[in-house]
């Protein structure tokens, strides 16, 4: 209850920030984008994990305001990076199910692109399968977002019940294989069977594919050989502040 009250003032008090985790192209391991992840720098509790406050914010509806802040901040940052570093670059923003049902989401995204003069393909909206399951309202929002030209990634792919049917109705551009399938891919046959199936499905449907949670060179090699186009995980970098992303990209050239 205290956390709920404190979340109300956290935006105004500038207590939220975004960190960014690199996403690399597996063919040459160059950074082609990042995923934005929110952090709450609480004045007395220290850093509160999003795993703790995002589910609460989803229940109370506060995720709409928090998510709007994250979207705007990520787009502002993306525009700053465009002027600092050359080449196409995609910033992924997580959008909760509750936000997809917010009638203002599509206008918010359009405004964030336009205010920052961002091409739509510089933004990727990440939604989980469970957020869009069997819900016409959410699907309509996804269709409208796709109409703006932004990328749409299905996050945590493979973990929900009806992943496959979803692909027929949902206008996604990218599948992000959940990290639970990457974790023990080299030892558990079932895990690698799922990873293989998701990669084949992505390629058959002409979707991008990202393997999440890569921590070792062995996992990187395996997922690359399975046909994954992109990788994300501690093997390359943890989520880091925006200045560090500039350093990492500059070091690549």
Stretch that binds ligand G, among 82-90, 138-146, 165-173, 213-221 (CB under 6 A): 213-221
- Beta strand 30-42 pairing with 123-128: unpaired
Q: Which residue lies nearer to ligand G by CB, 21 or 229?
A: 21
Under the binding rule (CB under 5 A), the answer on residue 6 touching Na ion is no
Under the binding rule (CB under 5 A), the answer on residue 73 touching Mn ion is no
> Mask of contacts with Na ion, 33-72, x by CB under 5 A?
----------------------------------------
- Among Mn ion, Na ion, ligand G, none, the one that 50 touches (CB under a kind-dependent 5 to 8 A) is ligand G
Under the binding rule (CB under 5 A), the answer on residue 155 touching Mn ion is yes
Q: Which residue lies nearer to ligand G by CB, 23 or 170?
A: 23
> Mask of contacts with Na ion, 197-226, x by CB under 5 A?
---------------x--------------
- Beta strand 16-25 pairing with 30-42: antiparallel
Beta strands in 55-180 (DSSP E): 90-94, 123-128, 151-157, 174-177
Under the binding rule (CB under 6 A), the answer on residue 34 touching ligand G is no
Q: How many helices (H) and strands (E) does the chain have?
A: 12, 9
Q: How far is the CB of 35 from Mn ion (least distance, A)?
A: 5
β-bridge mates for residue 35, sequence order? 21, 92
Under the binding rule (CB under 5 A), the answer on residue 178 touching Mn ion is no
Structure tokens, 83: 């002027």
Q: Are 153 and 175 in contact (CB under 8 A)?
A: yes
> Given candidates 62, 94, 116, 163, which one binds ligand G under the rule CB under 6 A?
94
Q: Which residue lies nearer to Mn ion by CB, 58 or 126?
A: 126
For residues 31 and 48, what is the distance between their CA atoms, to the nearest angstrom? 28
Q: Are 106 and 141 in contact (CB under 8 A)?
A: yes
Under the binding rule (CB under 5 A), the answer on residue 126 touching Mn ion is yes
Could you tell me the end-to-end alpha-carbon distance of the chain, in angstroms, rounded to an integer?
49
Size of the site for ligand G (CB under 6 A): 21
> Mask of contacts with ligand G, 113-152, x by CB under 6 A?
----------------------------------------
Q: How far is CA 157 from CA 135, 149, 181, 212, in A?
A: 17, 22, 10, 10
Beta strands in the chain (DSSP E): 16-25, 30-42, 46-48, 90-94, 123-128, 151-157, 174-177, 208-211, 230-231
Q: Which residues bind Na ion (CB under 5 A)?
A: 155-156, 212
Q: Which residues bind ligand G (CB under 6 A)?
A: 21, 37-38, 49-51, 54, 67, 70, 94, 96, 155-156, 179, 212-215, 233-234, 239
Q: Which residues bind Mn ion (CB under 5 A)?
A: 94, 126, 155
């Amino acid at each position: 209850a205290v956390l709920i009250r404190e979340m109300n003032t956290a935006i105004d008090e500038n207590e939220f920030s975004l960190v960014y985790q690199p996403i690399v192209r597996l063919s040459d391991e160059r950074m082609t984008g990042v995923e934005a992840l929110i952090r709450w720098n609480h004045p007395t509790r220290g850093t509160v994990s999003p795993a703790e406050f995002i589910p609460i914010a989803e229940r109370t509806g506060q995720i709409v305001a928090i998510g709007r802040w994250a979207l705007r901040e990520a787009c502002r940052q993306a525009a700053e990076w465009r002027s600092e570093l050359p080449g196409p670059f995609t910033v992924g923003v997580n959008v909760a199910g509750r936000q997809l049902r917010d009638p203002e989401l599509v206008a918010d995204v359009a405004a964030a692109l336009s205010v920052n003069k961002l091409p739509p393909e510089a933004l990727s909206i990440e939604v989980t399968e469970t957020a869009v399951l069997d819900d016409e309202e959410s699907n309509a929002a996804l269709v409208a977002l796709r109409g703006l030209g932004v990328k749409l990634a299905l996050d945590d792919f493979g973990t929900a019940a009806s992943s496959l049917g979803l692909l027929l109705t949902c206008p996604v551009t990218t599948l992000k294989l959940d990290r639970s399938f990457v974790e023990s891919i080299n030892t558990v046959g079932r895990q690698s069977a799922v990873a293989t199936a998701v990669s084949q499905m992505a390629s058959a449907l002409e979707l991008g594919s990202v393997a999440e949670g890569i921590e070792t060179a062995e996992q990187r090699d395996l997922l690359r050989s399975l046909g994954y186009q992109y990788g994300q995980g501690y093997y390359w970098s943890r989520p880091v502040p925006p200045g560090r992303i500039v350093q990492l990209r500059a070091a690549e050239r």
